[in-house]
Amino acid sequence: MLTILDLVGRTTVFFEKCGVPQPRLDAEWIIAHSLNLARMDLYLQFERPLEEDQLAPIRKLVKRRGAREPLQHLIGFVDFFGLRITCDKRALIPRPETEEFIEILNEKLSAEKPLRILDLGTGSGVVALAFANIFPSAQVVATDISSDALQLAKENAGTNKLSDKVSFHLGNWFEALPQNEAAFDLIVSNPPYLSPQEWECTQKEVRNHDPKLALVSENEGCDHLLDILTAAKQHLCPGGLLAMETGELHHELLIERAEEMGLSDARGMKDFSKKPRFFLAERPSR
């Protein structure tokens, strides 16, 4: 009879052949998920033999992962900043860099007064919900142009008991906001910033399963970044912060445009892997 350890080994070899980026880790995740175990518990049960009725559902998921469906779609969630975020094809799978981004911004914000936070292009809702969770007194507003994504974001607000903390609006960037919406202390966005050519070169998981709308922007990936930057000042409080995730080559152009728009302290920051990734600028206090 096949033990858990045998199955982890065989699945890892199969995933390697299929070009799955983290074959052993994904094998463990899928097997643990199917057996209703935490991944670390597998290690305590390696010698456990598996019955045929336990193997059948695992085989199905292994086949789908071998065909390069993202792990997060197969297990149905990612854990993000203490929240469990449901993932499916309606919105981008939240990325570790975005978690890093929230950590950076969290250090910059003070909760002395209730903050007003706007998340543009909220997708699964992950950024808006993380901030609503960190700052319970904040007023958080989230927008997206995709009604499917917005529906998923609302579901994630519900499962994380944050529905009364975030308001959701459908539409293109700032156009989604209700008329006369007050200004924000933080405007945050992880907008689409891949050029069409970069998108062609992404992994199969990304190209075939993340919504293209969430990833691609014309004009070398710049269009959406510039649209947001150009309109941001009038929606920021004096001293308010604009923060966006970007591609590696965008910072110079964004810094130039920020200065033209009368924003101050425009600067790029690198992520954990030392790639230029985050862009920040402020509305001057007076």
Amino acid symbol at 268: G
Q: Which residues contact 79 (CB under 8 A, 6 or more apart)?
A: 85
CB of 112 to ligand GLN, least distance (A): 26
CB of 121 to ligand GLN, least distance (A): 5
Question: In this complex, which beta carbon is closest to ligand GLN, that of residue 7 or of residue 91?
Answer: 91
Bridge partners (DSSP) listed for residue 84: 79
List residues binding ligand GLN (CB under 6 A). 91-92, 94, 98, 121-124, 126-127, 190-192, 214
Residue 58 near residue 29, CB atoms below 8 Å: no
**160-165 CB contacts, 8 Å cutoff, 24+ apart:** 160/83, 160/84, 160/85, 160/129, 160/133, 162/129, 162/132, 162/133, 165/132, 165/136, 165/138, 165/140
Question: In this complex, which beta carbon is closest to ligand GLN, that of residue 8 or of residue 228?
Answer: 228
CB of 189 to ligand GLN, least distance (A): 7
Alpha carbon distance 202, 214 (integer Å): 13
Question: In this complex, which beta carbon is closest to ligand GLN, that of residue 24 or of residue 207?
Answer: 207
Question: In this complex, which beta carbon is closest to ligand GLN, that of residue 7 or of residue 157?
Answer: 157
Question: In this complex, which beta carbon is closest to ligand GLN, that of residue 127 or of residue 222?
Answer: 127
Alpha carbon distance 128, 193 (integer Å): 19
Question: In this complex, which beta carbon is closest to ligand GLN, that of residue 62 or of residue 241?
Answer: 241
CB of 94 to ligand GLN, least distance (A): 4
CB of 56 to ligand GLN, least distance (A): 33
Minimal CB distance residue for ligand GLN: 123
Tell how far CA 51 is from the center of its chain: 37
CB of 222 to ligand GLN, least distance (A): 15
Alpha carbon distance 239, 182 (integer Å): 14
Q: What is the largest CA-CA distance in the chain?
A: 73
